[in-house]
Amino acid sequence: MTDYQISGKNNTRSKRSGKGKWQGMFAFFIVSFLVIAVLGGLLKSTIAKKDIKVSKWDSVSSFVLGLRDNQNSLFIFQKDPKRAVFVKTGFLGNDLSGDVFAKTASVVFGADVKNFVNLGNLSDAEIKKKFDNFISVTTPIRILTTGWTTGSMNTNVSRIDALRLWWQLKDIRSKDLQFVNLTTFKNPNKGKTDDRVLGITSDFLNREISKYLENTKIIQEDIDLKIVNSSDDDRSAYLAENFITAVGGSVVSITGDTQIRRKCSLVTNARSSYTVGYLAKVFICDINDAPQTDDKPSATIYLGQDFPARYF
């Protein structure tokens, strides 16, 4: 082999080595920049430090988000089956603030709605565009530094829940979004205060939404659930039952109580079950142990005055 041939091969190897070094340095620079951006954003914001720890969602149940948009919609992400759904309601009231809107949606649909975001008046195409923007690879950086909302949007969704939602949604595309239109539903509640009418309305809407809220873990555990209304408000037991049945829980009895409780309490022989933990979080209950028996796992929810105070 000639000196020229050896030299040529060495030059080629040297070029490849040099190119590899530059690529490695470039990748290191990008990663370092992202890490510094994240750390800088977290360090400069005490709100972010607190917000990252606050979570209302367990990443197993459906994520329900009240949308303050022109259709007063709900966004629902269901893990099993995996799907993202926009439910257009059109009848919850355009003058409600975010937290009041979420509470109103909870009562009307008989479903636990704790999260909200103000979107403004958006078309379906604009909603899809915002969805695509949210599932982009840069969103985690945005969430950790400046938050995930833009402009006049405001929300009570914590950063940790936004990150969890992004992780679950990142492989869903806007073309796969489902839109359910309930705006043509004739609301018999309009201008009326009869609780019987509210019951008829909520029964229908609860059935419409529960198909997207069913929780496979709760269904599989099949724990017998009892409701004791100790709140001195007859509406509480009805709303609590809807909250439970919407996610696939089995309510075996509903009774009243002459002893009024201030705060909700959950008594169970299945403390370690997912269902008990989930319901304790939904109803904001203390968990107390029932005597251990060989009977089927069960839980009794004693509704306190704190429950209707949050919704009525």
Whichever domain contains 269, its CATH number is: 3.30.70
Q: Clarify whether residues 223 and 120 are in a common domain.
A: no
Quick: pLDDT tens for 89-117: 877 766 777 788 899 899 989 999 999 98
Question: Of the candidates 160, 181, 202, which is a domain's last residue?
Answer: 181
Tell which wins on pLDDT, 24 or 123: 123
pLDDT at 312 over 80: yes
Most trustworthy range by pLDDT among 52-56, 177-181, 191-195, 198-202: 177-181
pLDDT at 275 over 90: yes
Q: Tell me, what's the pLDDT at 282? A: 97
Q: Clarify whether residues 67 and 36 are in a common domain.
A: no
Quick: pLDDT tens for 11-59: 555 555 555 556 566 565 555 555 555 545 544 444 445 455 578 899 9
Q: Clarify whether residues 121 and 219 are in a common domain.
A: no
Q: Clarify whether residues 67 and 177 are in a common domain.
A: yes
Tell whether 81 is covered by a domain: yes
Task: Identify which of 221, 220, 304, 216 has the alpha carbon closest to the alpha carbon of residue 269.
Answer: 221
When divided into structural domains, the chain yields a total of 3
pLDDT at 207 over 70: yes
Write the burial class of residue 234 (CB in 10 Å: 0-12 exposed, 13-18 middle, 19+ buried). exposed
Tell whether 201 is covered by a domain: no
Residue 108 and residue 92 in contact, taking contact as beta carbons nearer than 8 Å: yes
Q: Clarify whether residues 88 and 170 are in a common domain.
A: yes
Tell which wins on pLDDT, 254 or 73: 254
Tell whether 58 is covered by a domain: no
Question: Mean pLDDT for the chain?
Answer: 82
pLDDT at 269 over 90: yes
Query: Which amino acid is present at 31?
Result: V
What is residue 190's three-state secondary structure?
Answer: coil
Tell whether 115 is covered by a domain: yes
Question: Of the candidates 126, 159, 181, which is a domain's last residue?
Answer: 181
Can you list the alpha helix ranges (DSSP code H) found in the chain?
3-44, 46-51, 98-109, 124-134, 139-145, 159-169, 195-210, 216-221, 234-246, 274-283, 306-311
Task: Identify which of 266, 306, 259, 309 has the alpha carbon closest to the alpha carbon of residue 290.
Answer: 266
Q: Clarify whether residues 173 and 258 are in a common domain.
A: no
Q: Clarify whether residues 247 and 160 are in a common domain.
A: no
Q: Clarify whether residues 79 and 102 are in a common domain.
A: yes
What is residue 196's three-state secondary structure?
Answer: helix
Q: Clarify whether residues 68 and 45 are in a common domain.
A: no
At residue 177, φ and ψ (nearest 5 deg) are -65, 140
285: DSSP letter: -
Q: Clarify whether residues 84 and 165 are in a common domain.
A: yes
Domain that holds residue 166: 63-181
What is residue 294's three-state secondary structure?
Answer: coil
Tell whether 193 is covered by a domain: no
Q: Clarify whether residues 44 and 86 are in a common domain.
A: no
Tell whether 23 is covered by a domain: yes
At residue 309, φ and ψ (nearest 5 deg) are -65, -25
Can you list the alpha helix ranges (DSSP code H) found in 45-158?
46-51, 98-109, 124-134, 139-145
Q: Clarify whether residues 68 and 170 are in a common domain.
A: yes
Q: Tell me, what's the pLDDT at 202? A: 74
Q: Give the number of other CB atoms < 10 A from CB of residue 149.
A: 18
pTM: 0.78
Tell whether 304 is covered by a domain: yes
Q: Give the number of other CB atoms < 10 A from CB of residue 75.
A: 21
Question: Of the candidates 181, 203, 237, which is a domain's last residue?
Answer: 181
Tell whether 158 is covered by a domain: yes
Q: HEC states along 1-32? A: CCHHHHHHHHHHHHHHHHHHHHHHHHHHHHHH
Can you tell me the mean pLDDT for 119-134?
85
Write the burial class of residue 216 (CB in 10 Å: 0-12 exposed, 13-18 middle, 19+ buried). middle
CATH number at residue 94: 3.40.630.190
At residue 65, φ and ψ (nearest 5 deg) are -130, 120
